[in-house]
């Protein structure tokens, strides 16, 4: 809307909002956008907070925006506190449950009369989760399978993920998320910045387990062993994979590979 308003020539002469809090709840961005609108001769009109088009009106607008930002932060704090307490009592806060689970109403009403929910195992999806783990550890036809092969196999057999085709990222998410072992943490990340919070702020939520803990650990070990980020690309593809790893037991110098009989034999020295 701001981009359209500041086009040349502008397609309209005013932006009308119910209140300035519906325009922006951040003083910096609100002030910045209002300056851009003024340069294009676009008026910002609040139906419930009328202000004059002069210096006094600008001052009032800034004060109103500052109060809106404060009120928004206070509301967010109270909502976050309620959601944290909800999690401590084993309830599910989000709208869409993770694959393998379903959100079931508890019969108790929360804030704004919303029905509180908890996670329970979805029998159909949970069976698919178990199949993903089995394919990754045991493979198919005595051949181990990677995540790409597992996704292709599931799609080939028309096994969908809530109606969507499987991708490598989906398989990786199922294999790496500890919530499948009855270990779900709420408040791990800041919803605004996406940054990981300190572990002391995490809230453990007890949910039913789909995958046994020892099975999850076996998968984690194989994933770590196959992670290319843990190894130098040259070491994975080089015909001399031990160069840089082997050292002389007497002097500590690194060993290099040599060959004999025109390359028939290879050894480290």
| pLDDT at residue 199 tops 90 | no
113 band by pLDDT with thresholds 50, 70 and 90: low
Is 115 within the bounds of a domain? no
- Check whether residue 195 and residue 240 sit in a common domain: no
Whether residues 126 and 221 fall in one domain:
yes
Residues 128, 219 within the same domain: yes
Residue 213 and residue 210: Cα distance in Å, rounded? 9
Residue 64 CA to residue 183 CA, distance in Å, equals: 44
pLDDT at 237: 52
* DSSP string for residues in 235-248: HHH-S-TTTTT-B-
**Residue at 107 is within a domain:** no
Tokens of 1: 């809307």
pLDDT at res. 268: 81
Q: Is 207 exposed, middle or buried (0-12, 13-18, 19+ CB in 10 A)?
A: buried
- Whether a cis peptide bond, with omega within 30° of 0, leads into 257 is no
For 27-39, the pLDDT digits (tens) are 888 888 888 898 8
Based on the domain organization, do 253 and 220 belong to the same domain? no
98 lies in a domain? no
Same domain, 170 and 204: yes
- Whether pLDDT at 66 is above 90: no
Q: What value, to the nearest 5°, has the Cα angle with vertex 28 and ends 25 and 32?
A: 110
> Do 134 and 62 fall within a single domain?
no
Task: Give the integer Cα–Cα distance in Å for 125 and 66.
Answer: 47
Looking up residue 80, the CATH number of its domain turns out to be 3.40.50.1390
pLDDT of 34 reads: 86
Q: Is residue 23 part of a domain?
A: yes
Q: Is residue 34 part of a domain?
A: yes
Instruction: Compute the distance between CA of residue 210 and CA of residue 239 in angstroms, rounded to an integer.
Output: 42
Structure pTM? 0.60
Mean pLDDT of the 156-166 span: 92
Domain membership flag for residue 114: no
Q: Is residue 117 part of a domain?
A: no
User: d(Cα 122, Cα 213) in Å, to the nearest integer?
Assistant: 19
Over its C-alpha atoms, the chain yields an Rg (Å, rounded) of: 29
- Taking 80 as the threshold, does the pLDDT of residue 227 lie above it? no
Q: What is the pLDDT of residues 128-154, one digit of tens each?
A: 999 999 999 999 887 889 999 999 999
**Euclidean distance between CA atoms 27 and 64, whole angstroms:** 9
CB atoms within 10 A of CB 15: 18
In terms of domains, do 73 and 41 share one? yes
Residue 172 sits in a domain whose CATH number is 3.90.1750.20
Which structural domain, as residue segments, surrounds residue 72?
2-87
Looking at the structure, do residues 181 and 239 belong to the same domain, yes or no? Answer: no
HSE (side-chain half, CA atoms, 13 Å) at 132: 33
Whether residues 218 and 162 share a domain: the answer is yes
Dist CA 114 CA 166 (whole Å): 33
Number of domains in the chain: 3
pLDDT tier at 208 (50, 70, 90 boundaries)? very high
Tell whether 174 and 257 lie within a shared domain: no
- Residue of higher predicted confidence among 123 and 116: 123
Burial profile 90-106: b = 16 or more Cβ within 10 angstroms, e = fewer: ebbbeeebbbbbbbeee
Q: Are residues 224 and 236 in the same domain?
A: no
Q: Estimate the crossing angle of helix 213-226 against helix 123-138, to 10 degrees.
A: 50
In a domain, 191, yes or no: yes
Tokens encoding 124: 């159909």
Mean pLDDT of 9-26: 87
Q: Tell whether 136 and 221 lie within a shared domain.
A: yes
């Amino acid at each position: 809307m701001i981009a359209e308003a500041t086009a040349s020539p502008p397609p309209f002469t005013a932006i009308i909002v119910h209140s300035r809090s519906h325009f922006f709840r951040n003083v910096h961005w609100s002030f910045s956008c209002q300056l851009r609108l003024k340069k294009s001769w676009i008026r910002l009109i609040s139906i419930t907070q009328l202000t004059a088009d002069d210096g006094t009106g600008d001052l009032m607008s800034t004060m109103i925006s500052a109060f809106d930002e404060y009120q928004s932060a206070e509301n967010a704090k109270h909502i976050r506190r309620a959601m944290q307490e909800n999690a401590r009592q084993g309830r599910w806060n989000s709208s869409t449950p993770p694959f393998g689970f379903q959100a079931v109403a508890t019969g108790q009403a929360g804030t704004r009369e919303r029905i509180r929910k908890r996670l329970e195992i979805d029998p159909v999806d949970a069976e698919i989760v178990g199949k993903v783990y089995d394919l990754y550890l045991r493979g198919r036809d005595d051949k181990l399978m990677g995540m790409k092969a597992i996704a292709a196999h599931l799609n080939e057999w028309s096994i969908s993920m809530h109606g969507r085709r499987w991708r490598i990222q989906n398989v990786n998410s199922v294999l790496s998320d500890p919530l499948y072992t009855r270990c779900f943490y709420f408040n791990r990340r800041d919803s605004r910045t996406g940054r990981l919070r300190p572990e002391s702020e995490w809230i453990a939520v007890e949910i039913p387990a789909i995958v046994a803990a020892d099975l999850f650990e076996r998968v984690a070990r194989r994933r770590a062993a196959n992670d290319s980020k843990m190894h130098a690309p040259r070491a994975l593809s080089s015909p001399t994979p031990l160069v840089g790893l082997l050292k002389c037991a007497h002097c500590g110098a690194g060993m290099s590979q040599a060959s004999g009989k025109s390359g028939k034999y290879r050894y480290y020295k």
